[in-house]
Amino acid sequence: MQDILGSVRRSLVFRNPGGDERGFGSGLVEKIGSSLRKSRFGLFSKPPLRSLSSFLKDDAPPIRWRKGELIGCGAFGRVYMGMNLNSGELLAVKQVSIAASGASKEKTQAHIRGLEEEVKLLKNLSHPNIVRYLGTAREEDSLNILLEFIPGGSISSLLGKFGSFPESVIRMYTKQLLLGLEYLHKNGIMHRDIKGANILVDNKGCIKLADFGASKKVVELATINGAKSMKGTPYWMAPEVILQTGHSFSADIWSVGCTVIEMATGKPPWSQQYQEVAALFHIGTTKSHPSIPEHLSSEAKDFY
C-alpha cells in the first residue's frame, strides 16, 4: 500500500512528455480532435457476431432472471434492476441492443466488442472492492451482462444528492479504491476510466470499482499499441493519455487524485474553468496539476 500511496503523490505532479514545446499547441488540437472523433464514432473493425454466443458461454449453468425497472442508461445501452429467480438475489443487468443497421450497426458492433473485452476481464476478477460478475444472457436482439447490484449508486450520484463529502468519508472511500486498484494492477490490468461515476457504493459504505469497458491487460496494450490510445473521461485524464505518448498504471493513479478532488469539492478538477475539449488542451499543454482544495487538512494535502 505504501508503494501505491507514493505513486499517488508523485503522479499528481505534471509529467512533462518531453520534446520541444514550440508549435506544440496546434498539433495537440489536431490530435485531440482526431482522437475524440475516433472514440465517439467507434471506428473499429466489425466483430463476428456469429461467434458471440460461443464467446459468452459460461461453464456455470445459466442464471434464471427477470428484468425489473430501468436504473440507468447510456449511449449504447441501458442498465436494469433484475432478480435471480433461483436465489432471489438482486442484479444489475447491463443490456445493449444488437439489432441495428447501417451506421448504427457499426457503432453497436464496436460496442459489443468492448463488452466482450469487459466480460473477459470481469470473469477472472474477485475482490471486495470490484463489482462482481455473475454471468451473461443472450436474447434475440440484445446482450445482457449480469452484475452484482449495488444499492447506493455511484459516488457521482451521491455527490449530487449530498454535496461534497467530509474528509473522513473521502479517506474511507479512497482507501478502498486504492485496494481495488492495487488488485487490478497486480493482475496486470489498467482500469483507464476511474471517476466518481464508475465507483459504486453499497448501503454499508463499501465501494466497488465498476465499468471495465475501457480496461485492458497491460500485455494487450503493448501488443496492439493501445498504450497510446486516448481512453477515459477528459477531466480525469492524465497528461500522457491526452498526448498519446504512452501510459501505464500511473495514469490510473492520476485519475484517483482527480476523483479525490471530485469528492472534496463535488465537481471534477478544471470543470469550473473549462469545457471538456478546452480541459484536454489545458491538461496537455500546461505544467499545472489540479488545485488542492483549501479546506482540506494538512494530512490530506500531503497525500498529493
Q: How far apart are the C-alpha atoms of 4 and 61, rounded to whole Å?
A: 39
Q: Cell numbers at residue 26, please?
A: 496546434
Q: Is residue 18 classed as helix, strand or coil in its secondary structure?
A: coil
- Residues labelled as active-site residues: 193
Q: How far apart are the C-alpha atoms of 8 and 301, rounded to whole Å?
A: 12
The crossing angle, in degrees rounded to 10, of helices 249-265 and 155-162 is 20
Q: How far apart are the C-alpha atoms of 287 and 284, rounded to whole Å?
A: 8
Task: Say if CB 208 and CB 130 are below 8 A apart.
Answer: yes
**Interacting residues of 49 by C-beta distance below 8 A, sequence separation 6+:** 98, 109, 112
Helices (H), 2-101: 2-11, 24-41, 52-56
Task: Give the torsion through C-alpha atoms of 209, 214, 216, 218, to 10 deg.
Answer: -100
Q: Is residue 74 classed as helix, strand or coil in its secondary structure?
A: coil
Helix, strand, coil % in the chain, rounded to nearest 5:
45, 15, 40
Q: Cell numbers at residue 104, please?
A: 448504427
Task: Say if CB 58 and CB 73 are below 8 A apart.
Answer: no
Q: How many CA atoms lie within 13 A of 225 on its CB side?
A: 2
Q: How far apart are the C-alpha atoms of 92 and 149, rounded to whole Å?
A: 5
Task: Say if CB 151 and CB 145 are below 8 A apart.
Answer: no
94 is annotated as contributing to ligand binding: yes
**Binding-site entries for ATP:** 94
